[in-house]
Amino acid sequence: MAAQTAPLWVKAGHEVVVYTIGNHPEKISELNGVAICHIFNPEKRLGLSGQFIYDLLCILDARTKNFDVILQLGYTTSGIWSFLWPKHKTVTNMDGLEHQRAKYAGLLSSFLKWSERRAAKRSKLLIADNPEIANYLSKYKVPISTIAYGSEIVEEPADAIEILQRNHLPTDNFHLHIGRIQPDNHVFEILDAAVNSGETIVTVGDYTTRYGRKLKATFPESNIIYAGTIYDKTVLNALRTRATFYLHGHSVGGTNPALLEAMGSGSIVLAHENPFNASVLGGLGALWKDEDALTRLLTQRPSEEIRSEQARLSRERIKAHFNWEDVAENYLQSFASLK
């Protein structure tokens, strides 16, 4: 988000500083008018505990500067230092319901609930990226602004078929899944529906984790193409625009950037049925509760007219409700409310 909004804030006449890790491969101090502050990050040596130290060092540095506003994107490892946050100028984007994620069970989930409460208590303003997140946060009696993420509009690349062929990926009659390979993203249900339907699915994500390896062993069928992690936007854009359906299983993350990117590419989205996804789609695509419902949806073949109309409506929805210019302006208006 910072890469998209910070330059727009600079264009609006503001000085903006973005903190990043000291061992970032790009050693730059400025980009598009945005000052880049590199902070020591011991995570490689200390693991997760190193992230807590990095957050502490960022907060301590920010306290020495005469910033009008300190925007924190998330609280999972910074909430423990909330007693150091300058409350009168701290704005926190609360992200999704982190404590509900399956990977954060037991004591870790309890810690995240505590960290969430601390972040709410020590912030002057909370940012919710989805109306349902705002409803959840209203219990804290802290001012809330609902500001979604943004996305770009992407048309099918002229050489999309060639791009996919070059990367040994199907060019037609396939469905696409992109996401983190974890239980609360309902990857199991998506792969199970692929097996039950016999439909070809390209799944993009890191399957080298314990859970990922377990899924690959459970679903070795040839109609599931495990593409691994793909960061090349040209390949991702070719996949999104050529896929019959885009499968979205996220359930606890509020407004998900991957969902917005799919909509901006004109994809017909089949999303897990929950209030977050429903509010983003606004009636487009279709929702599914379990693998049986998804299996039935996968066997449908929308006509070219329906595909074209859904693509047009999807892109129009992104332009109207999830464009970066509006996101940046809404943040500036929220910052102004602190005065």
Look at the alpha carbons of 209, 210, 211, 214 in this order and tell me if their dihedral is positive or negative: positive
Tens digit of each residue's pLDDT, the chain (339 residues): 899 999 999 999 999 999 999 988 888 999 999 999 999 999 888 887 899 999 999 999 999 999 999 999 999 889 999 999 999 999 999 986 665 555 555 777 888 899 999 999 999 999 999 999 999 999 999 999 999 999 999 999 999 999 999 999 999 999 999 999 999 899 999 999 999 999 999 999 999 999 999 999 999 999 999 999 999 999 999 999 999 999 999 987 789 999 999 999 999 999 999 999 999 999 999 999 999 999 999 999 899 999 999 999 999 999 999 999 999 999 999 999 987
Please give the structure tokens belonging to residue 124: 């002057």
* Equal fold, 2-150+324-336 vs 160-321: yes
Fold designation for 2-150+324-336: Rossmann fold (3.40.50)
From the list 22, 79, 92, the residue with the least C-alpha distance to 52 is 79
Three-class SS of residue 239? helix
Q: What residue spans define the domains of the chain?
A: 2-150+324-336, 160-321
From the list 73, 92, 95, the residue with the least C-alpha distance to 143 is 92
DSSP 78-114: TGGGGGGS-GGGEEEE--S-GGGSTTS-THHHHHHHH
CA 14, distance to chain mean position in Å, is 26
DSSP label at residue 156:
P
Q: What is the pTM of this model?
A: 0.91
Q: How far is it, in rounded angstroms, from Cα 100 to Cα 103?
A: 9
Count CB atoms within 10 A of the CB of residue 292: 12
Q: Was domain 160-321 assigned CATH 3.40.50.2000?
A: yes
